[in-house]
Structure 1
Amino acid sequence: MDFSLLLVLAVAVSGIVYLLDAVWWRPKRRRQLAIAETATTEGLDEPTREKLLKEPWPVDYSRSFFPVLLVVLVVRSFIVEPFQIPSGSMRPTLEIGDFILVNKYAYGLRLPVVHTRILEVGDPERGDVMVFRFPDQPSVNFIKRVIGMPGDRVRYEGKQLYINGEPVPKQLLEEGPPLAPRELLLEEFLDETPHNIYNNPRDPGPQMREIVVPEGHYFTMGDNRDHSNDSRYWGVVPEANIVGRAFAVWMHWDDGLPSFTSVRRIQ
């Protein structure tokens, strides 16, 4: 189900009904009331006046919901959109059940449904946690970390990431952390900006020969390096598929009651 399309249709239908009432139906009801009032010398009682001026139910609902739907559409399409994390591919940065906020204008304003960029604001930067539409299935949203920029040479061998021939620095933080006892918790530095990743020392993991990221595309990887379906398997992300930059976790809810103890900025 394309929620953006449903929201656009709901705004369009309610807006058209609201407009038709303002320019056509409401003046018609008032003219009918004026005719009825001139037809009697005693004047109309209040119930009759209310009956003649009463809005049909489609108009009543449209007048009530159109402003709310319009605000939701503008905020969701151009400012911020919520998403839920369904998999563990971005652990330890993001856990299953995290509810995140995505900045929709960081990489330019895009029209809803058609996703055409109408205003250039900025471009993804290396290390950003980015939401995008999966290239092979545009109706599905993915979230990964931006690793390779247009023109970069990217290679991944022996659990070591190389960009433009240089190994990306990382250091061991903990062996077998409580939340992932079979993993190594490491701190990796992309352009000197740190973030945490998991590596499984018992699994050789995927190997990827060097590729060059085409212009207008981005190479992405999950922080859970041995458990992530990312650019190592299906290729690069076109600029046209970008949704926005994830910047905060505002709630966690995977079982039981929602929790707000995990509210944090995404690094």
Structure 2
Amino acid sequence: MSLRKSLLALTWIPVVYTFTNHVYQPYQIRGSSMSPTFNPGTDSTTKDIVLVSKLKVKETSFTRGDVIMFRSPENPEKILTKRVVGLQGDRVRPKSPYPKAQTVVPRNHLWVEGDNAFHSIDSNNFGPVSQGLVVGKVVTILWPLSRFGKDILGGRDARELDPKDMLVKLIGEI
């Protein structure tokens, strides 16, 4: 009986492997670059675990405010978590140490920044990120349970608004 259960369990390994590599996968968020969205406490041992959607990530069109995971352009072994603040064609005003006062996000690239500007290595350091480096989109917080399903929208927006966009934004607020 136990051999049969063991063999049955072994048959699920390819299913679990495929699911976590191509559909959804939990990831642990390390560091404080996305605080207070992730790892908001001062306790350094607490690290949020999030659920990342990998389903059709190459065909996904991202929007400003999405939290994504991507391979670092400086070290492909490292996976970073940042918020999308600029899409292709957007004009952004980078913060120091980026060498230009203003830049346009190239085609098939994203401008990403951490929510905690003081402790984030992001597009302000390495420039726009190719969408080909994106691993997945963060869907929700899984752990700790007290923050399960917490809203992860928000963050900063580095996009420079055109006067027409500013007018539309002001009219929408009235």
Normalising by structure 1, we get a TM-score of 0.49
* Percent identity over paired residues: 34
Q: Provide Cα deviations, 1:195-223, integer angstroms capped at 9, x if missing partner.
A: xxxxxxxxxx7575111111111110000
What CA distance in whole angstroms lies between the structure 2 residues aligned with 1:209 and 1:225?
Answer: 17
Question: Are the aligned partners of 2:94 and 2:103 in contact in 1 as well (CA < 8 Å)?
Answer: no
The amino acid that maps onto 1:226 is F
The answer to which structure, 1 or 2, has the higher relative contact order (CA under 8 A, 6+ apart) is: 2
The amino acid that maps onto 2:138 is A
Aligned to 2:76, which of 114, 122, 138? 138
Q: Provide Cα deviations, 1:221-247, integer angstroms capped at 9, x if missing partner.
A: 000012111000011111111111112
Query: 1:102 is matched with which residue?
Result: 52
What CA distance in whole angstroms lies between the structure 1 residues aligned with 2:151 and 2:53?
Answer: 12
Question: Residues 67, 266 of structure 1: CA spacing in aligned structure 2 closer, same or farther, 3 A cutoff?
Answer: farther
Question: Which segments of 5 or more consecutive residues in structure 1 lack a partner in the other structure?
Answer: 1-54, 110-116, 158-204, 253-259
Aligned to 2:18, which of 54, 65, 74? 74
Query: 2:157 is matched with which residue?
Result: none
Question: Are the aligned partners of 1:247 and 1:265 in contact in 2 as well (CA < 8 Å)?
Answer: no
Aligned-residue Cα RMSD (Å) equals 2.2
Aligned to 1:93, which of 30, 37, 49? 37
CA shift for structure 1 position 64: 4.4
The amino acid that maps onto 2:15 is V
Q: Provide Cα deviations, 1:53-84, integer angstroms capped at 9, x if missing partner.
A: xx9xxxx97x4454221111221122211111
Query: 2:167 is matched with which residue?
Result: none
Aligned to 1:124, which of 62, 78, 100? 62
The amino acid that maps onto 1:124 is F
> Secondary structure at the residue paired with 1:249?
strand
Structure 1 or 2, whichever has the larger Rg, is: 1
Q: How does 1:1-267 map to 2 (within 5 A)?
A: 63-64=7-8, 66-95=10-39, 97-105=47-55, 108=56, 117=58, 120=59, 122-156=60-94, 209-252=101-144, 260-263=145-148, 264-267=150-153
Structure holding more strand per residue: 1
